């Protein structure tokens, strides 16, 4: 089993739900990315999603788009990211996964990307632009290497297609709450709880819910039907303040915010 499989097996046995923060690698720089990852682990996060900067948005809202742009302007490259992550993963109990466009994986070579990511201590990859019809080659490599391939299902995905996506995924299934882009929202679609509950009846794969989640009440709403909750833009927005504020303050702000959401998640279990 991959580290992601093991984590969810443990969480389910304990009746616990997972909290998954997202941040952009290299925004504002890779040293601060290391510091934020350590802070998130210390605050009790379960899995950290690390966005690999890319020039073309893939369902990314303005906050994450801007963070990718800043990282690319600083010439952050995949080799640099993996080297900095490899320096801290031996000390982390929290698995890391990359959020990465398939074009980067394809350009690196499927086997090469997986082997290099594993060597850096990364446990899987979320590939948002990989169609299920083209997922088999990467899925085969990931299963062989115990490296989780995490794919996305949206509210408009037909049931039959959602099940095909689940069958080719490992680790967990990423359920997108909205038919739109990432970003903080005051309210989530009313049907989201029923939609996730219905999908859970059709797959044994853990389901983690993301897009739009930023408030404790949203965490409490989704905790009963999800195996994990993903928060990205609200964290990335706080990290962006490192350009103007002391980094120690920003780190504390991010940590306190995440602790608030984790407390809401634990209360709803």
pLDDT value, residue 74:
93
Q: How far apart are CA 107 and CA 109, in angstroms?
A: 5
Question: What is the count of structural domains for the chain?
Answer: 1
User: Stretch 8-28: mean pLDDT, rounded?
Assistant: 97
Model confidence pLDDT, tens digit, residues 153-184: 999 999 999 999 999 999 999 999 876 667 67
**Residue among 252, 196, 199 nearest 226 (CA):** 196
Cα(184)–Cα(4) distance, integer angstroms? 26
Looking at the chain, the number of H-run helices and the number of E-run strands are 12, 9
Distance of CA 138 to the CA centre of its chain: 18
| CATH code of 86's domain | 3.20.20.70
Q: Does the pLDDT value for residue 19 go beyond 90? A: yes
Lowest-pLDDT range, 18-22, 94-98, 141-145, 190-194? Answer: 190-194
Residues annotated catalytic, as ranges = 49, 60
Q: What pLDDT, on the 0 to 100 scale, is given for residue 211?
A: 87
Asked if 39 and 33 touch (Cβ cutoff 8 Å), the reply is no
- The mean pLDDT of 126-137, rounded to a whole number, is 96
pLDDT confidence tier of residue 249, bands split at 50, 70 and 90: very high
Domain of 40? 3-268
Q: Which helix (H) or strand (E) holds 243?
A: none
């Amino acid at each position: 089993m991959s580290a992601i499989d093991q984590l969810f097996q443990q969480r389910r046995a304990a009746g616990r739900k997972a909290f998954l923060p997202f941040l952009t690698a290299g925004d504002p720089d890779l040293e601060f990315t290391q510091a934020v990852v350590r802070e998130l682990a210390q605050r009790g996060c379960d899995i950290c999603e690390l966005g690999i900067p890319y020039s073309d948005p893939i369902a990314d809202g303005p906050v994450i788009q801007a963070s990718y742009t800043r990282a690319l302007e600083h010439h952050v490259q995949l080799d640099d990211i993996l080297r900095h992550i490899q320096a801290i993963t031996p000390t982390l109990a929290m698995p890391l996964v990359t959020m990465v466009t398939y074009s980067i994986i394809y350009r690196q070579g499927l086997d090469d990307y997986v082997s290099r990511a594993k060597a850096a201590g990364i446990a899987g990859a979320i590939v948002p632009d990989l169609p299920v019809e083209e997922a088999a080659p990467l899925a085969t490599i990931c299963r062989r290497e115990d490296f989780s391939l995490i794919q996305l299902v949206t509210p408009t995905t037909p049931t039959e297609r959602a099940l095909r996506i689940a069958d080719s995924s490992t680790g967990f299934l990423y359920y997108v709450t909205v038919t739109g882009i990432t970003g903080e929202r005051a309210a989530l679609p009313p049907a989201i709880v029923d939609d996730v509950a219905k999908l859970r009846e059709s797959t044994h794969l853990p389901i983690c819910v993301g897009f739009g989640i930023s408030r404790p009440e949203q965490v409490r709403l989704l905790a009963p039907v999800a195996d994990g909750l993903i928060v990205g833009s609200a964290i990335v927005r706080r990290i962006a303040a490192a350009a103007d504020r002391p980094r120690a303050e920003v780190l504390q702000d991010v940590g306190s915010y995440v602790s608030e959401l984790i407390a809401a998640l634990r209360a709803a279990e």
